[in-house]
Structure 1
Amino acid sequence: MTATLTLTSVTLPSAPVGAPNPLPAVAAMPQAPYEASTVGLPDAIAENIRYGQVTSILPYLLQDQYTRERTDAPMRLAVLENDLMRAEFALDLGGRLVRLLDKATGRDLVYRNEVFQPANLGLRNAWFSGGVEWNIGMRGHWPLTCAPLYAAAITAPDGEPVLRMWEYERVRGLIVQMDATLDSTVAALHVHVRVRNPHADETGMYWWTNIAVAQTDGSRVFAPATHAYQTQYDGTLAQVDVASPDVSRPAEAQAAADWFYALDDSQTPWIAALEPDGSGLGHVSSPRLAGRKLFVWGDTTGGRHWQHWLGGATGSYFEIQGGLATTQYEHLRMPGRATWEWTETFLPLQVAGVSSADWPSAVEAVGAEIGRAADATDASRLEAVADLEPGEVLNVGSPWGALEATLAERYGAAFESLPGVRFDPSAGDDAAYWRDLLHSDSRFADGADRADGADRADADADGADASADGADRAGDADVATPPASYVAGARWERLLAEAPASWLTHYHRAVMAHARGDLTGATAHYEASLRSHRSAWALRGLGLVEMASGDPDAGVAHLSDALTLAADLAPIALELGDALLAAGRAEEASRLVASLPAELRERGRFRVLAVRSALASGDRAEAGRMLEDEFDVPDIREGELSMSELWRQAFPDRPVPARYDFSMT
């Protein structure tokens, strides 16, 4: 049977991700709840951990507007299917492989989540569990985990269909292309990944394929290693023996932990998850994808709590993973114009007698079966189509790959794309301002060709830059509406510097300076923007700069003014409340919460603000009363223990209720 590639949808109880938070993420990028120590690690791993750290998620906007209220909603899928397997990809959700069905046994090989519930585990906040996630660029769940990818149908020379997905990752400036196909003769899914650095400069590179697997009491994980680098939620990273004690049984893990296997470079990288009857999933790859990992949530209240939040009644899961480096704390140096590629194969396995076998003999048996199964597959089809242009377009992603290419061309810089992808410059209304700026016919002649780098915008940062009647020289940008999107990087800054100065050009330059930690530059441009037009956005930015600079009262004043201009924008109200508490003005924070509409007061983060304000005012009884009402904070961060800490402050002699316990140690 020749495989088919079709579009369909599945209806799930879903909590929509919602519109992005319109306020740019100028604060430090959210990090995992623990940091790796490099003490005692091999030099190469330690160096990779120190290299390429990312401090800002700009130009992406945060996705933090979801709730925990679920209604039935469709999830769009691209489906590869033959008589052996069925693979379902969520095109609007980072290309996630949400289902992989082995038709011979009727088993789902990956954890198939029965709900769609975002939670705060991603680099942009929103993340969901289940299936196979592709992560590129920097440590963490990648920025496009809840965003659409481009997708197209390609017909290989042998007549079989290939699903191509691709996008441009904006922080690292990388192009990723993923081609997926089902094997024609045996049960196997092949995915060929290509990552291209289209620029001349080196960048940091990161990739991990995260594979969720349903957990039972007898689940066991195997990899060809005797040792691993283990992390727990306490900041340690130490080499341990994986056989003594045996760490291969996820259900027996007492707490959340990662095991990054120390694989033998001479062996083909693989990992497998099997059930007591010997059935399960194998993941094998070409050598470039050299890392393997096991993640477990652990048998703690917090671990169970997180899994229930993410999957409801779907059940428990663990993850087996494959990456470019040994650990997920590492970024690799990817040269300019380099292309890295590898193939991953997902296989159903049946290996008898390994459930209770000792580690060495079990690994040998599983490895032999994976080798036999992998040898029976043929992924050469993906090599044959790798350079083919996309065929029928199934889904449209963002315009940023096209806009970055145009920007590079404008300044005579390199942007060498992949032959198998194309980006639509007209996609996405949120990029309209930048398209217009890029295609200005004037080339901003009064500033474009200045060799010394001077520009009128910098000069105007020290004085008024609007015309006498206050008109905005950038056009008709509505100062009452938050900018729809943001950019980052030296060439975008140059484009803004060369543009006619306006409240908006100054504001965007302020945001870029702010995100990279240049508070002096940010202040100058926020103030110049405000001299041109008074906006909530520049006031908010200036307030945050003042808070970071140690002037909380000035910060509160500007955030208050920002809220006056954007009274219906909840994120500003929340930032103002945090600023009031930081300034020691708890009673004002309480009054702020009380002044908000009822709908806002009932949101989890505002209820937390009310509790914090009561505690800071010394009213422990009122804080306790609010906590006893029991409420959820939909976007509580992985590793965030704010709810249990507030409970302990209000009730030092009472145990933390399970609802508030997210501890994974």
Structure 2
Amino acid sequence: MTATLALTSVTLPSAPVGAPNPLPAVAAMPQAPYEASVDGLPDDIAENIRYGQVTSIHPYLLQDEYTRERTPTPMRVAVLENDLMRAEFAVELGGRLVRLLDKATGRDLVYRNAMFQPANLALRGAWFSGGVEWNIGMRGHWPLTCDPMYAASLIAPDGEPVLRMWEYERVRGLIVQIDATLDSAVAALHVRVRVRNPHADETGMYWWTNIAVAQTAGSRVFAPATHAYQTQYDGTLGRVDVASPDVSRPAEARAAADWFYSLEGSVVPWIAALEPDGSGLGHVSSPRLSGRKLFVWGETTGGRHWQEWLGGRTGAYFEIQGGLATTQYEHLRMPGGATWEWSETFLPLQVDGDVDGAWASAVEVVGAQLRTAAGATDASRLDAVADVAPERLLNVGSPWGALEAVLAERYGEAFESLPGVRFDATAGEDAAYWRRLLGLSEADARAGSDAGAIDADGDDSDLDAGAPPASYVAGPLWDRLLAEAPASWLTHHHRGVMAHARGDLAGAKAAYEASLRLRRTAWALRGLGLVDIAGGETDAGIAALADALSLAPDLAPLALELGEALLTAERAEEASGLIASLPAEVRERGRFRVLAVRAALASGARDDAGRMLEAEFDVPDIREGELSMSALWQQAFPDRPVPARYDFSMT
């Protein structure tokens, strides 16, 4: 049977991601709850850890408007299917492979989440568990994990379908192309990843394929290694023997941890997750994808809570992963104009032999049979279509790849795209202002990345200053474009945000003040307030934030920032007053209830704080590694154990 590729939907209990937070993400990027020490590490790993650190997620907006209220909602998926397998890709959610079904056994090879529930684990906030996630650019779950991808259907020379997904990652300035197809002869899913740096300058590169697998009491993970670099949530990263003690059984892990396997000399990088009967999933790749990792949540109250938080009754899971570097703390140097590519194969395994024995002998048995199974597959179809232009479009992504190409052309800079992708400058209204500033007519915009730029009038006097800008930009060429445009409150504001995000507080302050001289807006006042607070002018900063909120009284994230600033300045009674002045619907949100508890504790009203905590509420966007709820409980009730509902500890 020739495979089919179709666009359909699956309905799941879902909490919508919601609209982006309109306030630009000028603060330092949220980091994982642990940092790696380079002490004692090989020089190359240490150098990669020091290189390419990202401090801001700008120009992306945060995604933090989701709740924990779920209703049945369709999820759009592109489905590759033949007699042997069914693969479902969520094209509007970062291209996530949400299901991989082995039809011979009826087993889902990857963890298939029975609900869609965003949680605060990604660089922009919203993230969901399950399936196979593609992570590019920088440490952490990538910025587009809950955003649409371009997707298209191609037909290979042998008549078989190929799913192509692609996008432009804005922080690193990278183009990613992901091609997927099912093997015609055996049960296997082949994926070809191609990443292009279209610019002339070097950039940091990062990639990890994160594969969630359902966890049972007998699950065991194998990789061709005797040692690994282990990290836990206390900041340590050290080289350990993976066989003594045996770390291969996720259900036996006492706490959350990562093991980055040291695959020295491995010609065919691989990792496998098996059950005691030898059944499971194998992942094998070409040599460039040389890293392998096991992540476990651990058997703590907090670890179990996190899994329930993310998957409800779906059950426990762990992750096996493949990456470009040895650890996830590393970024690699990708030269300007470079293209890196590799292949990955996912296949069901049924290993005959002792998979429950000693590590070395079990790895040998599993590795031999995995390599044999992978050797029987044929991914050459992906070579044949790698440069073929997309045919039937299934989904549309963002306009940024097209707009960056036009911007580069305007200033005579390099932007060499991939032949197999096409970006649409008209995609999404969030970039309408930038199309206008670039002088793109509707016809030019629809022509895509080959469109030429014409002179723009730059007049934004008709834009509503009461509404927040829909999107932001970053980089010297965008700054130059704004500087050359006729000065307005909005051009100054955007330049202020760009300076703010790169840490130039003096430049940001000057630009925000220039914007306010032309028009008084909540957006420039908010920026000015944050700059003043960062510069030690706390009272002036709080006053500016309060003024901003008076101009945008319905903007809850702005009220939250003001409340946080008041508490930090030890003005708890004012923070309580602010909260009391907000609409009931806003006061009931998790973050505002936390703010109220903190204000009560800071004011000495411990009984009031305790009553609020005993009411048991959720904070939908609690951050991975954040222990605020247990800390507040312990302050209010120092002699009572933390309830499981508030325990997110992973140590």
* Partner Cα separation in structure 1 for residue 440 and residue 115 of structure 2: 46
Partner residue of 2:453?
none
Which residue of 485, 502, 516 corresponds with 2:488? 502
Query: Would you say how many aligned residue pairs link Structure 1 and Structure 2?
Result: 635
Give 1:56 shift.
0.5
Backbone CA RMSD of aligned residues: 0.9
**AA matched with 2:49:** I
Which residue of 568, 571, 583 corresponds with 1:585? 571
Partner residue of 1:277?
277
* Partner Cα separation in structure 2 for residue 347 and residue 226 of structure 1: 24
* Partner Cα separation in structure 2 for residue 58 and residue 354 of structure 1: 50
Deviations 1:609-651 (A, max 9, x none): 0000001111111111111111000000000000011111111
Question: Are residues 1:519 and 2:505 paired?
Answer: yes
Question: Are residues 1:3 and 2:3 paired?
Answer: yes
- 607-616 or 349-358, larger mean C-alpha shift: 349-358
Which aligned pairs between 1:257-656 and structure 2 lie closer than 5 A?
A: 257-439=257-439, 474-656=460-642
8 Å CA contact 2:355, 2:366 repeated in 1: no
Q: Secondary structure at the match of 1:191?
A: strand
* Partner Cα separation in structure 2 for residue 219 and residue 261 of structure 1: 18
Give 1:129 shift.
0.1
Partner residue of 1:135?
135
**AA matched with 2:59:** P
* Partner Cα separation in structure 2 for residue 616 and residue 556 of structure 1: 18
Give 1:439 shift.
1.3
Give 1:355 shift.
3.2
Q: Secondary structure at the match of 1:368?
A: helix
Give 1:267 shift.
2.3
Q: Secondary structure at the match of 1:13?
A: strand
8 Å CA contact 1:526, 1:541 repeated in 2: yes
**AA matched with 1:510:** G
8 Å CA contact 2:154, 2:164 repeated in 1: yes
Give 1:547 shift.
1.1
Runs of 4+ displaced beyond 4 Å: none
Partner residue of 2:452?
none
* Partner Cα separation in structure 2 for residue 267 and residue 658 of structure 1: 45
Which aligned pairs between 1:100-119 and structure 2 lie closer than 5 A?
A: 100-119=100-119
* Partner Cα separation in structure 2 for residue 279 and residue 635 of structure 1: 36
Which aligned pairs between 1:81-96 and structure 2 lie closer than 5 A?
A: 81-96=81-96
Partner residue of 2:230?
230
Give 1:473 shift.
5.1
* Partner Cα separation in structure 2 for residue 516 and residue 354 of structure 1: 55
* Partner Cα separation in structure 2 for residue 208 and residue 440 of structure 1: 36
* Partner Cα separation in structure 2 for residue 399 and residue 625 of structure 1: 49
8 Å CA contact 1:474, 1:500 repeated in 2: no
Q: Secondary structure at the match of 2:492?
A: helix
8 Å CA contact 2:153, 2:390 repeated in 1: yes
Give 1:440 shift.
6.8
Give 1:555 shift.
1.1
Q: Secondary structure at the match of 1:2?
A: coil
Which aligned pairs between 1:39-78 and structure 2 lie closer than 5 A?
A: 39-78=39-78
**AA matched with 1:126:** A
**AA matched with 2:615:** D
Q: Secondary structure at the match of 1:101?
A: strand
Give 1:524 shift.
0.1
Q: Secondary structure at the match of 2:356?
A: coil
Partner residue of 1:455?
none
* Partner Cα separation in structure 1 for residue 635 and residue 265 of structure 2: 51
Summarize the Cα distance change of 1:302–1:576 in structure 2 as closer, same or farther, 3 Å threshold: same
Give 1:476 shift.
1.1
In structure 1, runs of 5+ residues without a counterpart are 442-471
8 Å CA contact 2:131, 2:212 repeated in 1: yes
Partner residue of 1:193?
193
**AA matched with 2:643:** P
* Partner Cα separation in structure 2 for residue 385 and residue 157 of structure 1: 8
Partner residue of 1:464?
none
Partner residue of 2:168?
168
8 Å CA contact 1:203, 1:335 repeated in 2: yes
**AA matched with 1:42:** P
Partner residue of 1:661?
647
Partner residue of 1:467?
none
Give 1:551 shift.
1.5
8 Å CA contact 1:153, 1:161 repeated in 2: yes
* Partner Cα separation in structure 1 for residue 541 and residue 71 of structure 2: 40
* Partner Cα separation in structure 1 for residue 190 and residue 483 of structure 2: 47
Give 1:583 shift.
1.3
Deviations 1:83-104 (A, max 9, x none): 0000000000000000000000
Summarize the Cα distance change of 1:440–1:224 in structure 2 as closer, same or farther, 3 Å threshold: closer
Q: Secondary structure at the match of 1:348?
A: strand
8 Å CA contact 1:354, 1:365 repeated in 2: yes
Give 1:550 shift.
1.1
Q: Secondary structure at the match of 2:563?
A: helix
8 Å CA contact 2:96, 2:131 repeated in 1: yes
**AA matched with 1:573:** A
8 Å CA contact 2:62, 2:124 repeated in 1: yes
* Partner Cα separation in structure 2 for residue 483 and residue 356 of structure 1: 58
Give 1:582 shift.
1.2
8 Å CA contact 1:627, 1:647 repeated in 2: yes
Partner residue of 2:448?
none
Deviations 1:198-231 (A, max 9, x none): 0000000000000000000000000000000000
**AA matched with 2:408:** A
Partner residue of 1:466?
none
Q: TM-score, normalising length from structure 2? A: 0.97
**AA matched with 2:418:** L
Q: Secondary structure at the match of 1:140?
A: coil
8 Å CA contact 1:474, 1:501 repeated in 2: no
Deviations 1:351-391 (A, max 9, x none): 13333210011000000011100110000000000000001
Give 1:45 shift.
0.1
Q: Secondary structure at the match of 1:164?
A: strand
* Partner Cα separation in structure 1 for residue 461 and residue 540 of structure 2: 31
8 Å CA contact 2:399, 2:425 repeated in 1: yes
* Partner Cα separation in structure 1 for residue 24 and residue 18 of structure 2: 16
* Partner Cα separation in structure 2 for residue 306 and residue 512 of structure 1: 35
**AA matched with 1:511:** V
* Partner Cα separation in structure 2 for residue 552 and residue 657 of structure 1: 36
* Partner Cα separation in structure 1 for residue 284 and residue 626 of structure 2: 34
Deviations 1:465-502 (A, max 9, x none): xxxxxxx9533111000000000000000000000000
Summarize the Cα distance change of 1:595–1:196 in structure 2 as closer, same or farther, 3 Å threshold: same
Partner residue of 1:454?
none
Partner residue of 2:242?
242
Partner residue of 1:181?
181
Q: TM-score, normalising length from structure 1? A: 0.95
* Partner Cα separation in structure 2 for residue 424 and residue 188 of structure 1: 33
- 475-484 or 325-334, larger mean C-alpha shift: 475-484
* Partner Cα separation in structure 2 for residue 505 and residue 248 of structure 1: 55
- 168-177 or 551-560, larger mean C-alpha shift: 551-560
8 Å CA contact 1:390, 1:421 repeated in 2: yes
* Partner Cα separation in structure 2 for residue 630 and residue 546 of structure 1: 36
Deviations 1:281-313 (A, max 9, x none): 000000000000000000001100000010000
**AA matched with 2:39:** V
**AA matched with 1:630:** E
